[in-house]
Amino acid sequence: MITREIQKIIENSIENATVHVLDPMNDGHHLQAIVISPAFEGVPLIKQHKMVMTPLKEAFAQYVHALGLKTFTPEKWEQVKDQYNV
């Protein structure tokens, strides 16, 4: 399943990441990812997203059309996790 593949790529690329990949449209092309990692501490949001997206370049070339991305430090995730259904 594509969501599992995307999850594994991110987990292998971001140290100590907790990753949730969702396919809300059930089409395998429009995905959403929530990535929580201490590696994001002190890193600007745009660089956090680049850390996630760069390893996914091949997946996008092959089968993913869009990925809604949210990145959080563990501390920030504790503050906002109730807003997400994961």
What is the widest separation between alpha-carbon atoms in the chain? 35
- pLDDT for residue 85: 86
Instruction: For the chain, give every domain's residue range.
Output: 2-83
Q: Which residue has the higher pLDDT, 7 or 85?
A: 7
Q: What angle do CA 14, 20, 23 make, to 5 degrees?
A: 125
Give the relative orientation of helices 45-53 and 2-13 as an angle to the nearest 10 degrees: 120
CATH of 2-83, one of 3.40.50.2000, 3.30.300.90, 3.40.630.10, 3.10.20.740: 3.30.300.90
- At 19-56, the pLDDT tens digits run 999 999 998 888 999 999 999 999 999 999 999 999 99
